[in-house]
Amino acid sequence: MVLNAEYRWEVFSGLDGAVFADAGKVFPRRGMLNFRDLESSVGFGLRFNARNVTAVRVDVGFSHEGFQVWFKFNDVFLNRRFGTSIGQPVY
């Protein structure tokens, strides 16, 4: 289970800034499907757009395990402001 929340704004035409918070967990049994004991991270990033579609994004995420830099060639929300990330590639 992954929850993503992202605030995004336009820096200039073709580039958006973003700050985000993620939470999620992996669980072996259906009974553990709840919001307890989630792992979380926060971060910021840039989204390079072409014709309102994110072509490249660079994210820097921080958690208690340290930080990681991600380069991705898709949009977290499949170009929707609000919604689920069903269909997204598994990280």
Partner 1 sequence: MKRIAFFLLLASPVPGQRFLADDPLEREPRPRSVGQLLNRKFSDYYDLFSNQFAERGKKQPKSGPPVRALAVNTLGEPLDSSWYQRRHYYRRMSIEELTRGPGQRTPPSTAGKWTVVAAKSEGVTPGFTIIDSEKRRYFVKFDPLTNPEMATAADSISARFFYALGYYVPDNYIVYFKPDQLELREAVEIADSTGKTRPMTRDDISVILKKVPLTKDGSYRATASLAVEGKPIGPPRYYGTRKDDPNDVVPHEHRRDLRGLQVFCAWLDHDDSRSINNLDTIVDIDGVPAVRHYLLDFGSTLGSASFRPNSPRSGDYYFTWKGSAKELFTLGLMPPYWAFAHYPDYPSIGRFEWKVFNPEKWVPEYPNVAFSNRLPDDEFWAAKQVMAFRDDEIKAIVGVGQYSDPKAAGWLEECLRERRNKIGKVYFAKVLPLDRFRIEAGGLKWDDLAKEHGLGGVEDVKVNWSRFDNKANAKTALPAAAGNAVPNEGEYLAADLTSAARPKQTVTVYVRRNAGAVSVVGLDRTW
Which residue carries 């800034």 as its tokens? 17
| Least distance (Å) between residue 35 CB and partner 1 | 27
| Least distance (Å) between residue 50 CB and partner 1 | 12
Which residue carries 């898709």 as its tokens? 74
What order do you get walking across the sheet with 66-72 strand by strand? Answer: 2-12, 15-24, 39-50, 53-63, 66-72
Give residues in contact with partner 1 (CB under 8 A).
7, 9-15, 17, 19
Report the residue number, 15 or 32, with the smaller CB distance to partner 1: 15
| Least distance (Å) between residue 37 CB and partner 1 | 30
Report the residue number, 10 or 39, with the smaller CB distance to partner 1: 10
**Residue 30: φ, ψ to 5°:** -60, -30
